[in-house]
Amino acid sequence: MDLKSLRIQRRRQFWGEIVPYLGYVMQSGVAVLLLFMFIAFSAWYTSLVQHIPEGLPIRWIMLVLLLPLIVRSSVRTYLRSPDIVFLLPQESKMKEYLSGSWVSGVLYKFIGLALVFLTAWPLYVRSDTAPKSFWTFLLLLCILKIISSYGGWKELSMVSLRAAKGYHLLRWAVMALALSAWLWEPVGKSLIYVLLVIATYLFALSYPVKHLVAWERLIAKEESQVGRVMLVLGWFVNVPEQQQRVYPRRIFSRAGNRIVWKPIAAYKYLLTKSFVRSDILGIMLRAGVLGFLLVWWTRGTMLGSGIYLFFLFLIGVQLSSLQRYHKESFWLSIYPIPANSRQRNVTSFVFQVHLIVAVILWLPLLRDGWVHISLTFSTLALGIVMSCIVRVILSRKGNKEDNDDE
Amino acid sequence: MSDTPVLEIQGLTGGYSLNRPVLHDVNFQVGTGEMIGLIGLNGAGKSTTMKHILGLMTPQKGDIRVKGKKREEDSETYHSALAFVPESPLLYEEMTVREHLEFTARAYGVSKEDFEERSGKLSALFRMEDKMDSLSIHLSKGMKQKVMIMCAFVARPSLYIIDEPFLGLDPLGIRSLLDFMVELKAGGASILLSSHILSTIENYCDRFIVMHQGIIIAHGTLQQIAEQAGKPGAPLEELFYTLVQGRI
């Protein structure tokens, strides 16, 4: 079997399924929204570059912008569960199959990293007291990205899950140290330091016991990545339900336990449990923290209110995707759950969470006390209105889908 | 035993395509406190019959009544009277064992006190106490099957539809399941059980329904089936073999 062609064929098949949805995504108004956001960002960024604030912590900004893009690595393998049976006999030749996946994974991620770097470059070069040269900086990013992706790949092959988690943390630390040294120290000194750190890291990577091919972990990873693609598409169009990655998050294990003990609220219980262990909560928390910091930073200005509403909108879109959860669940058609309670539960759950987020995101605006009182409270009022609009849209969409199903 | 059967199937014809029905004029009843064994070769129509009872498929002809009610008349009452154990475990990967039981109890309107008592008993019976707070994604296939069984039993409806429950269960699990089914039966519950392990169900079921190519070819007690097969005193496995042999 030609394993290289098999991977190419699977990749083509996957994109063949995804591409038709992209047209619908564009029609859903996202193209206009993206264009608007791009224009607004360009205007804001141009103004920022022209009037750089005194003492802008540019090295910290570069570190925060670039580090996650260097460390985050994912590889699309297109592996499936039956491969454990049918491709296992060819395990020794799987390098042929997987090398293409790894190269594409590094290449596309590096393009993303380079684009962010290019965008941030004018700000960096104008505000840093001793900026590094463009090409050496880009070359260093390229090297760090390759090393990080290699490390990420080795983590996937490690036999011990605990070791894989430890090495994941180590990778974050190594990349943070290397990038910080590059940003804060002179070129010569930092390069020696980066080389030493990387050499030690590569040496450490050779220690843990690894699978030749970590079949189960790669398949689970692939499933979760397909789930994420479908999750994003699901914000705009109806796509088939995919199994999402599950995060244990023991800290939230009691969430939903106090929901009223009645069949009419049974679905809310299920939804709460699914939500706290889903990708959606993770994405929402990250967006929430970023939004909170930006609102804090720009509080007392119209821009601050705009950022507040933007992040609230973004989180509303995220939460709305809960409507697709368990839509095709077997047990919901067997269990005696009252008709329409699923839709009502989803709408009320999304509204409640969105409202809580609206208040939390608004808190940084209170820091200015009574100075911008009218702006502060009108921003909150707009936030609450936005939550209500999301609720109405969700409810109408649900009713329409229920009617279509009937 | 009350007069109204818990499950009543009359003239059921159905399948995936109108032109090629899988089931042909299927008729049978399950009375209160009865355990009925539904047996047949692969593709005989056992799972299709169950899917029709569960409302996952709509009959092309005929009626299905659970406690005298059709699904179209009152879906909630219909579904609250039955619980299902599928052949392959279908679990929410993001929920723990305890949460599965709690979700089922909430959906079936079981009180919190009854839920606590039943889930404690079931977890002990199936030796799942130390797995109650594990996510289902981390369970073995046999454990997942136990969760399915525990979910059905925590609901305590009038009728249990159980499809191949022994697959993946360890010998102690099979024994626990059989003992619990006997206990439920004694308490008035009705069970429609499909299995290929004929030697195991032979001693537990009150009656048997033998299906072949979508038709009921024999039904009744072990003795009645033996008479129909012309082999009095023979074990169920042999009777089944005799009944289907000439029809393959």
List, as one string, the DSSP characters of chain B.
Answer: --SS-SEEEEEEEE-SSSSS-SEEEEEEEE-TT-EEEEEE-TTSSHHHHHHHHHTSS--SEEEEEETTB-TTT-HHHHHHTEEEE-SS----TTSBHHHHHHHHHHHTT--HHHHHHHHHHHHHHTT-GGGTTSBGGGS-HHHHHHHHHHHHHHH--SEEEEESTTTT--HHHHHHHHHHHHHHHHTT-EEEEE-S-HHHHTTT-SEEEEEETTEEEEEESHHHHHHHHT-TT--HHHHHHHHHHTT-
Query: What is the reported pLDDT for B2?
Result: 53
Residue A405 pLDDT grade (very low, low, confident, very high; cuts 50, 70, 90): low
Distance from CA of A152 to the nearest CA of B (A): 23
Q: Which domains does chain B have, with CATH numbers?
A: 1-81+157-173+185-248 (3.40.50.300), 89-156 (no CATH)
Residue B1 pLDDT grade (very low, low, confident, very high; cuts 50, 70, 90): very low
Alpha-carbon separation of residue B3 from B67, B128, B161 (angstroms): 10, 38, 20
Dist CA B77 CA B67 (whole Å): 9
Rounded to 5°, the CA angle A137-A147-A93 comes to: 140
pTM of the model: 0.80
Query: What is the reported pLDDT for A290?
Result: 87
Query: What is the reported pLDDT for A241?
Result: 66
B92–A336: do the CB atoms touch at under 8 Å?
Answer: no
Among A279, A331, A345, pick the best mutation site for testing chain B contact (most B Cβ within 10 A): A331
Question: Directed axis angle between helix A215-234 and helix A279-298, to 10°?
Answer: 60
Residue B220 pLDDT grade (very low, low, confident, very high; cuts 50, 70, 90): very high
Alpha-carbon separation of residue A172 from A208, A217, B86 (angstroms): 18, 21, 45
For B92, the closest of A262, A274, A336 (CB atoms) is A274
Dist CA B26 CA B23 (whole Å): 7
For B112, the closest of A261, A269, A329 (CB atoms) is A261
Q: Quick check: B33 and B185 in contact, CB under 8 A?
A: yes
Label residues A237-254 b or e (16+ Cβ within 10 Å = b): eebeebebbbeeeeeebe
Q: Count of CB atoms within 10 A of residue A129's CB?
A: 6
Residue type at position B185: K
Q: Which of residues A235 and B197 earns the better pLDDT score?
A: B197
B135–A248: do the CB atoms touch at under 8 Å?
Answer: yes
- Residues from chain A that touch B77, judged by Cβ atoms under 8 A, are 336
Query: What is the reported pLDDT for B35?
Result: 95
DSSP structural state of residue A337: P
3-state secondary structure labels for all residues of A175-220: HHHHHHHHHHCCHHHHHHHHHHHHHHHHHHHCCCCECCCCHHHHHH
Alpha-carbon separation of residue A26 from A16, A23, A394 (angstroms): 17, 5, 20
Q: Quick check: A147 and A201 in contact, CB under 8 A?
A: yes
Question: Directed axis angle between helix A134-157 and helix A58-71, to 10°?
Answer: 40
Structure tokens at A193: 């330091």
For B92, the closest of A248, A270, A337 (CB atoms) is A270
**List of residues 6+ apart from A350 with CB closer than 8 A:** A316, A319, A320, A322, A323, A390, A391, A394
Residue A243 has pLDDT above 70, yes or no: no
Query: What is the reported pLDDT for A406?
Result: 58
Beta-bridge mates of residue B216 = B211
Q: Count of CB atoms within 10 A of residue A151's CB?
A: 22
For B94, the closest of A277, A336, A337 (CB atoms) is A277
DSSP structural state of residue A299: T
Distance from CA of B104 to the nearest CA of A (A): 8
- Residues from chain B that touch A265, judged by Cβ atoms under 8 A, are 106
Q: Quick check: A246 and A277 in contact, CB under 8 A?
A: yes
The pLDDT tens digits of the residues spanning A176-223 come to 999 999 999 999 999 999 999 999 999 999 999 988 889 989 998 898
Among A268, A270, A279, A326, pick the best mutation site for testing chain B contact (most B Cβ within 10 A): A270
Phi-psi region of B215 (alpha: psi -120 to 50; beta: other; left: phi over 0): beta
The pLDDT tens digits of the residues spanning B128-172 come to 999 999 999 889 999 999 999 999 999 999 999 999 998 889 999
| SS3 of residue A158 by DSSP | strand
Going by C-alpha positions, the residue among B202, B214, B91 that lies closest to residue B142 is: B91
Q: Is B80 on the interface with A (CB under 8 A)?
A: yes
Dist CA B182 CA A355 (whole Å): 51
Chain center to CA of B137: 24
The pLDDT tens digits of the residues spanning B93-134 come to 999 999 999 999 999 999 999 999 999 999 999 999 999 999
Query: What is the reported pLDDT for A391?
Result: 93
Going by C-alpha positions, the residue among A178, A176, A182 that lies closest to residue A128 is: A182
Cα R_g (chain B), whole angstroms: 18
Chain center to CA of A236: 17
Residue A202 sits at φ, ψ, to 5 deg, of -65, -35
Query: What is the reported pLDDT for B118?
Result: 95
Among A251, A326, A335, A341, pick the best mutation site for testing chain B contact (most B Cβ within 10 A): A335
- Residues from chain A that touch B103, judged by Cβ atoms under 8 A, are 266, 269-270, 273
Phi-psi region of A186 (alpha: psi -120 to 50; beta: other; left: phi over 0): beta
Residue B201 pLDDT grade (very low, low, confident, very high; cuts 50, 70, 90): very high
B107–A246: do the CB atoms touch at under 8 Å?
Answer: no
Q: Which of residues A342 and A231 earns the better pLDDT score?
A: A342
Q: What mean pLDDT is reported for chain B?
A: 92
Query: What is the reported pLDDT for A1?
Result: 67
- Residues from chain B that touch A334, judged by Cβ atoms under 8 A, are 54-56, 79, 84
Distance from CA of B117 to the nearest CA of A (A): 16
Among B106, B113, B147, B151, pick the best mutation site for testing chain A contact (most A Cβ within 10 A): B106
Residue type at position B178: L
Going by C-alpha positions, the residue among B159, B224, B41, B241 that lies closest to residue A336 is: B159
Residue A26 sits at φ, ψ, to 5 deg, of -65, -40
For A263, the closest of B84, B93, B106 (CB atoms) is B106
Label residues A36-62 b or e (16+ Cβ within 10 Å = b): eeeeeeeeeeeeeeeeeeeeeebbeeb
Residue B86 has pLDDT above 60, yes or no: yes
Q: Is B158 on the interface with A (CB under 8 A)?
A: no
Among B76, B101, B103, B115, pick the best mutation site for testing chain A contact (most A Cβ within 10 A): B103
Residue A154 pLDDT grade (very low, low, confident, very high; cuts 50, 70, 90): very high
Q: Count of CB atoms within 10 A of residue B193's CB?
A: 23
Q: Which of residues B243 and A240 earns the better pLDDT score?
A: B243
What would the mean pLDDT of B228-244 be, rounded to a whole number? 91
What would the mean pLDDT of B188-209 be, rounded to a whole number? 93
- Taking the alpha carbons at both ends of chain A, their separation in whole angstroms is 47
Cα R_g (chain A), whole angstroms: 24
What would the mean pLDDT of A109-125 be, rounded to a whole number? 95
Q: Is B111 on the interface with A (CB under 8 A)?
A: yes
For A337, the closest of B86, B93, B107 (CB atoms) is B107
A269–B102: do the CB atoms touch at under 8 Å?
Answer: yes
What would the mean pLDDT of B7-12 be, rounded to a whole number? 95
A335–B108: do the CB atoms touch at under 8 Å?
Answer: yes
- Taking the alpha carbons at both ends of chain B, their separation in whole angstroms is 38
Residue A351 has pLDDT above 60, yes or no: yes
Dist CA A155 CA A173 (whole Å): 15
Query: What is the reported pLDDT for A242?
Result: 66
Residue A120 has pLDDT above 90, yes or no: yes
Query: What is the reported pLDDT for B44?
Result: 92
